[in-house]
Amino acid sequence: MDLEDTLLMMPGPVPVAPKVLRAMSKPMINHRGKEFSAMFDDCTAMLKEIFQTQNDLMIVSGSGTASMEAALGCTIDKDDKVVAIENGKFGERFKDIATRYGQVVPLEFEWGQSVDLELVEEKLSEGAKAVTMVHNETSAGIRNPAEEVGKLAKKYDALFIMDGVTSIGGDDVKVDEWGVDIAVVGSQKCVAAPPGLSMISVSERAFDAMTKENLPYYLDLKAYKKSADKSQTPYTPAVPLFFGLQEALKIVMEEGMEARAKRQATGAAAIRAAMDAMGVEMFPQLNEVSGYSNTVSAMKAPEGVSGNDIKSAMMEKGIIIAGGQNRLSGQIFRIGSMGNVAPKDIMLTIQELELVLK
Ligand code: PLP
C-alpha cells in the first residue's frame, strides 16, 4: 500500500499535518528541563481553550482508554454505584471499566439508539456516585445529550464522567458550562495529532471525590495534578508525541474552534446529504435530544451487501473507511471526517463510494 497516496477517512487515527510529523523527529530533550515545561504549559493552555474549561487538565502518555480508566479508577471504590449509559461499543467499554472498580448500574440501549433521559433520571434518582456517557459514540455515529446528562448529574449529586474522545476538538464542547466533572479526549482524533496520548480534565469536585485508599499507580490523577502544577508529568512522558501534539494544537488554534466545529459539522452534513441522494440510510435512530455525529457518519449497509465489503472495495481505491465494530460488523460502514480532513477529501470519498455502491 502506498501510504503517501492513501486517504484515511476513518474515525481515528486521522491524517496528521507534515509539520506535526516533522516536529516528532526533533532531537530528544530533557523531560525535566525548562524546554519541556514550556511545551507542557503551551499544550495545557491550548487544551483548556478547546475543552472550554478552567478545571485542571492533565496529559497522559496512553491512549483514550487510559484516561477513561484513570477517571473511574481514581473516583470509584468497590461499593460505589456507577450509572453506565451505553448505546455503542465505547459506552460498553466505560461499563466494563466501571465493573472492575465499583458497582455498575447498567443503562443499556440498542447500539445506535438514542439515550432516554427519563431512564437516566430514574437511575440517578436511586443514588449513584457517578454517571458515565460517551458524548460522541464513534461506533454508532450518534451524538449523545451531554448537556442534559450534566444537568441530571448535578441534580442528583453524581459525578459526570464524559468520554469526549471523538467530540472534543471537533464539536463545540462546553465542559464547564455542561458540568462535566471529568472529560477525556484522545490525541489521534479531532485534534489531529498522532495516537498515543490522551488528555483529561478534572473538576475540583472530582478530585474531592478521590477518597479511596488505593488509587491506581500509573494512572493516579492526583499525582498527575501534583506534577502538572509544576509543568511536569509524574513519569517520563512520550516526548515525541508531545512535540507532535503541540504543533497539532497550534493548527487547531489557528483555525479557531468555532470555525473548526462548523467545518466538521458541514463535512458530516455533506456526507449525509450524499447518502440520502444515493438511497443509503443513516444508522442512528435519533430522538429530540440526540444528533448525528459531526465527526463520524455511520450508515446501514444496503440490503445484500456487507459493510466490510464496502470497506474493502474502498480500500482498493486507496480510501480507508471503517466497518462496524463487534456486533455491528457487516451491518454498517462508517466514514470519519474529523480532524483536518478537507472538503475535497470528503468529495472524493463520496464520489468513489457512489461507484462502489453502483
Ligand atoms: N472512546 C471513543 C468514543 C472512541 O472512539 C475511542 C477510540 O476509537 C476510544 C474511546 C478508545 O480510545 P483509544 O483507542 O485511544 O484507547
Q: Are 300 and 15 in contact (CB under 8 A)?
A: no
Find out whether the beta carbon of 134 lies less than 6 Å from any atom of ligand 1.
Answer: yes
Q: How far is the CA of 277 from the centre of ligand 1 (A)?
A: 31
Residue 44 CA to residue 58 CA, distance in Å, equals 7
Q: Tell me the pLDDT tens digit for each residue of 147-166.
A: 999 999 999 999 999 999 99
> Sign of the C-alpha dihedral, residues 341, 343, 344, 350?
positive
What's the pLDDT at 1? 59
Q: Using CA positions, which residue lies closest to atom 2 of ligand 1?
A: 165
Ligand 1 atom nearest 88 alpha carbon:
3
How many angstroms is it from 52 CA to the middle of ligand 1? 21
176-201 pLDDT tens trace: 999 999 999 999 999 999 999 999 99
Q: By percentage, how much of the chain surpasses pLDDT 70?
A: 99
Instruction: Please give the DSSP secondary-structure letter assigned to residue 191.
Output: T
How many A from CA of 253 to the centre of ligand 1?
A: 23
**Which cell goes with 167?**
467530540
Q: Quote the DSSP letter at residue 285.
A: B
Q: What number is the ipTM of this complex?
A: 0.99
Longest Cα–Cα distance in the chain:
60
Q: Read off the pLDDT of residues 244-274 as tens digits, 9 standing for 90 and up.
A: 999 999 999 999 999 999 999 999 999 999 9
pLDDT of residue 183: 99
d(CA 30, CA 238): 12
Encode 210-243: b = buried (16+ Cβ within 10 Å), e = exposed: bebeebbeebbbebbbebbeeebbbeebbbebbb
**Mutation pick for ligand 1 pocket among 10, 14, 65 (CB with most ligand atoms within 8 Å):** 65
- Any idea how long the chain is? 358
Contacts of 167 (CB under 8 A, 6+ apart): 135, 136, 143, 146, 173, 185, 190, 294, 295
Cα-atom radius of gyration of the chain, to the nearest Å?
20
Ligand 1 in contact with 163 (CB < 6 A)? Answer: yes
Global pTM value:
0.98
DSSP string, 30-77: -TTSHHHHHHHHHHHHHHHHHHT--SEEEEEES-HHHHHHHHHHHH--
346, 313 Cβ separation under 8 angstroms: no
Q: pLDDT, tens digit, for every residue of 10-48?
A: 999 999 999 999 999 999 999 999 999 999 999 999 999
- Is residue 325 lining ligand 1, measured as CB closer than 6 Å? no
With a 6 Å cutoff on the Cβ, whether 293 touches ligand 1 is no
Pick 236 or 2 by higher pLDDT. Answer: 236
**Which residues make beta-bridge pairs with 185?**
199
Q: What separation in Å is there between the alpha carbon of 255 and the centre of ligand 1? A: 24
Q: What is the pLDDT of residue 317?
A: 95
Distance CA 218, CA 68 (A): 13
> Do 132 and 161 touch, CB atoms closer than 8 A?
yes
Determine the distance separating the centroid of ligand 1 and the alpha carbon of 90, expressed in angstroms: 7
Name the packing angle between helices 64-75 and 221-228 (round to 10°).
110
Question: Taking residues 132-156, what's their average pLDDT?
Answer: 98
Mean pLDDT of 333-344: 97
Please state the atom number of ligand 1 nearest to the C-alpha of residue 12.
Answer: 8
Please tell me if the CB atom of residue 44 comes closer than 6 angstroms to any atom of ligand 1: no
